[in-house]
Amino acid sequence: MEKWDQQTIENFRKDLLHWYDKEGRNHLPWRKNTDPYRVLVSELMLQQTRVDTVITYFNRFMTALPTVQDLAKAPEEQVLKLWEGLGYYSRARNLHRAAKVVAFDLKGAWPESYEDLLTLPGVGPYTAAAVASIAFHQVVPAIDGNFFRVFSRLLKIDDDIAKPKTRRVFYEAVAPIVDPKRPGDFNQAIMDLGTSYMKTTDPDTLHSPVLTYNAAYRDGVEDQYPVKTKKKKPILQRYQALVRYNEEGDLLYEKRPQTGLLADFWTLPLRPIASIEELEGVQLTVKPITHVFSHRKWEIWPVQVEDTGKLADNQRFFSADEQAALALPKVQHKILQELKES
């Protein structure tokens, strides 16, 4: 691993922030100010979601719930509906819980330190560091995928970023480099650098504003960084989705358990099957609908079944208008779209 002397660190800060001031993505709506509420909402939305996609969601969310108090008072169904399509709905639920802690338990007073922000529901090390540095000027590195990629190349850090203990390695290596006067801008500049000149594939290293600090490029091994073991393939699970209408043409839904994937969401009743031979009812699609979670891959076969009139406690029929008002997970939208086209 490369180690920079103090002069190199100061030069790096100057060059990075000079570039950020000129070319950084300061047009992004969540960068208009450093309100911790706006920072927290944007950071949770941005996790595993493209920036271009988040802009629309963020603006809509802020229009509907402009303050942390508004979010704390909002019903969960409204929060989930505003989040609909972003996926990873636990983030929305945790954001809602965090807002209640700030608005009600803390009387609107935000935790300001990295350590205290970690006590909020759903706020992990990266999010706490981002909010602490951007909103409260705490000198702490916000370590995410961009951060790993940028500094693994700059410093030739050989530790496997897939291992949890590697975060500490990066933290200790980079904490002294974070600009003490502009820690939030420093972290956001690294984010922007990681999505532009230092992308995962096809990086434009020759034009990078920090080219002279890139040890991996200098040594001709940039494509080997960051070091990361391959993720295991997601486990395949097959389901039949029961498509059942009542006499009025309303569609049957089933509320999922309070824990596990898609917890507390309404979906078509899903029943596990080992193979297509186990399908019961009229098969409605030639191919299965597929949806990949981080560790699971679902294959779903919609089958139409007769209305028996009997419903379980967690089942009910929804009209088309009622369905439109529901916050539905992406996999359910895929099923509905397939039914519409079949």
CB distance 95 to 44 below 8 Å: yes
Q: Which residues contact 137 (CB under 8 A, 6 or more apart)?
A: 183, 184
Among the listed residues 128, 140, 143, the one whose alpha carbon sits nearest the alpha carbon of residue 183: 140
Q: Which residues contact 70 (CB under 8 A, 6 or more apart)?
A: 64
Q: Report CA Rg, the chain.
A: 24
Helix (H) / strand (E) containing 296: strand 296-304
Distances (CA, A) of 125 to 41, 193, 242, 272: 15, 21, 41, 36
Q: Can 278 be counted among the known catalytic residues?
A: no
- Catalytic-role residue among 2, 10, 23, 43: 43
Among the listed residues 326, 265, 321, the one whose alpha carbon sits nearest the alpha carbon of residue 82: 326
Q: Which residues contact 150 (CB under 8 A, 6 or more apart)?
A: 190, 193, 194, 198
Q: What is the dihedral of CA 165, 170, 176, 182, to 10 degrees?
A: -110
Distances (CA, A) of 10 to 24, 73, 180, 315: 19, 45, 11, 62
Residue 123 main-chain phi, psi, to 5 deg = -95, 110
Name residue, tokens 């006067």.
Answer: 181
Q: Which residues are catalytic?
A: 43
